[in-house]
Amino acid sequence: MLIGEVSQRSGVSVRMLRHYDRIGLMSPSGRTSTGYRRYEPADLRRLFRVESLRTLGLSLEQVGRALDDPDFDAARMLSELIDRTVCRIAAERELLTRLREIESNGPHSWQEALSAVDLLSRLRSGRSVERQAAALRSGITATAPDPLIGIYLSEPEEGVAGSLRWAIARSGEAAVPTLVAHLSDSETAVRRRVIHALGEIDGPAAADALVEGLADPDPATAGLAAILLASRSGPSGELSLPAISAPLVRLVVAGQDDVEAAEALGRLASGSAAATGRITSELVDQLAVADPAGRSRIVQALGEIPGEGAAAILLELAGDPDPEVSRVARYLSGSDAAPS
């Protein structure tokens, strides 16, 4: 079979077939008496293999190695192809996301569209300093919150994330619906970021969203929502005290954000005598089941609770057989020096 017929039947151009021959990738078995390339069935089978490997994304050099080198690592090659394909898909998705962001934000002119592209590009920069500067700029220029939220939730550096959180908070409750949509994310770190952002937004919609966060399956994330709710003048809706205090008590016992949780319990307890009694009882109930370190943290939390009830319990715990619990209780009740 001559080169023209091979090209017609295979779809590979004559120029490419000649290139394959020149680099030794796929050469004809012979030539005619007039010097034309003549391809045999074995050559066509090799051409099929070459084109099959090229469709997988291999370079011509990789194709040659795969066909000729008996020690060629096919598994490694496939792994590299998979990684490259994943990166390409991610880049295409990134482009699609950016185009949709620009479309949804409705720029009134190409100049605004270009400015939006520039800002989004800087927010996705590989340099953290540039991302942080872009985040601060977006807050000043009142950029629409949706693209900022997506970038914020995936930002690897906490310093930059803090700047993005500030920029999102400046948009007010306009950011709440998009943030709430991520409260069901499968990644705990994403949900925790959402809770942090909601905590910096004033208004009833953000407070209601924080209430949703109390049901988070991760105790630390639910506790963070409770800490932020306790810092407000009062959560919206008909929310019972235990709904907020229970996650806070769990944080104290577990030793996760226990100082912040204890302070939040103190703020809640100062609201009324009923709240004081309820929170004191919740903490005391845990004394019987907590480990020694947890009991010590509970005692410290009791020191944040106002009223005679908590003070009386601290005096009683000053005689606890656990020396650490006793020492902390004596200090908080004023019957001893500060614990070392």
> If 0-12 CB within 10 Å is exposed, 13-18 middle and 19+ buried, where does residue 1 land?
middle
Task: At 238, give phi and psi (nearest 5°).
Answer: -85, 85
| Tokens linked to 158 | 């906490």
pLDDT band at 322 (very low <50, low <70, confident <90, very high): very high
To the nearest whole number, what is the mean pLDDT of the chain?
Answer: 82
Burial (CB < 10 A; 0-12, 13-18, 19+), residue 234, is exposed
DSSP 206-225: HHHHHHHHTT-SSHHHHHHH
Name residues whose C-beta falls within 8 Å of residue 159's C-beta, 6 or more positions apart in sequence.
Answer: 128, 132
Q: How confident is the model at residue 167 (pLDDT cuts 50, 70, 90)?
A: confident
Terminal alpha carbon distance of the chain: 93
Q: How confident is the model at residue 78 (pLDDT cuts 50, 70, 90)?
A: confident
pLDDT in tens, 26-59: 899 999 888 888 999 999 888 888 887 887 777 8
Q: Is the pLDDT of residue 232 over 90?
A: no
Kindly state the tokens that stand for 331: 């200090």
The better pLDDT of the pair 170, 160 is held by 170
pLDDT confidence bin for 121, thresholds 50/70/90: low
Contact yes or no for 251/224 (Cβ under 8 A): no
DSSP class of 116: H
What is d(CA 207, CA 262) in angstroms, rounded to the nearest whole number?
21
The pLDDT score that the predictor gives to residue 74 is 66
Q: How far is CA 216 from CA 68, 203, 237, in A?
A: 56, 21, 18
Please tell me the predicted confidence (pLDDT) of residue 235: 44
pLDDT of 109 over the 60 cut: no
pLDDT tens readout for residues 235-257? 444 467 889 999 999 999 999 99
| pLDDT in the model for residue 63 | 86
Q: Please name the residue that has the structure tokens 């994943």.
A: 86
Candidates 262, 264, 160; CA nearest to 210 is 264
C-alpha torsion angle, residues 223, 225, 231, 235 (rounded to 10):
-120
Q: Which two tokens stand for residue 201?
A: 């937004």
Q: What is the pLDDT of residue 139?
A: 46
pLDDT tens for each residue of 257-301: 999 999 999 999 998 899 999 999 999 999 989 999 999 999 999
Query: Among candidates 256, 177, 265, which has minimal Cα distance to 221?
Result: 256
The pLDDT tens digits for 290-304 are 999 999 999 999 999
Does the domain at residues 3-72 carry the CATH identifier 3.60.70.12?
no
- The rounded distance, in Å, linking the Cα atoms of 303 and 315 is 11
